[in-house]
Amino acid sequence: MPYSKYGTLFYLYRCNVACRHCFHGERLQHADAFTLDEAISLMRLMHKGYGAEAVNLPGGEPFVERQQGQGQTRQ
């Protein structure tokens, strides 16, 4: 059975924007699920081990940690 060409990694589940329409509220105050190095290793595994061509990073506001987001993009 072939694997999906897309992986999903819930790397960041945090947000500091507090939009009025957001139903997540306090739930988005969690610590990160993975360190940057762990996330990069998992994305490499998805690509090399399972052939994922892209990895979706849902959950939270991606610009809370700008430098970490830039590191993900470069990797």
Residue ranges covered by each domain of the chain: 6-74
Q: Kindly state the tokens that stand for 4.
A: 């999906």
> Token digits for 61?
């506001």
Q: What is the mean pLDDT of residues 32-50?
A: 85
pTM: 0.59
Token representation of residue 43: 């994305």
What's the pLDDT score for residue 67? 54
| In the predicted structure, residue 9 carries a pLDDT above the cut 60 | yes
Comparing C-alpha atoms, which of 35, 28, 30 is closest to residue 72?
35
Q: How far is CA 5 from CA 9, 45, 47, 50, in A?
A: 14, 13, 9, 8
Helices 36-44 and 66-74: angle between axes, nearest 10 degrees: 30
Q: Which of 70, 55, 63 is nearest to 15 (CA)?
A: 63
Q: What is the pLDDT of residues 43-71, one digit of tens each?
A: 999 999 999 999 888 766 666 665 555 55
Q: Provide the pLDDT for residue 36.
A: 79
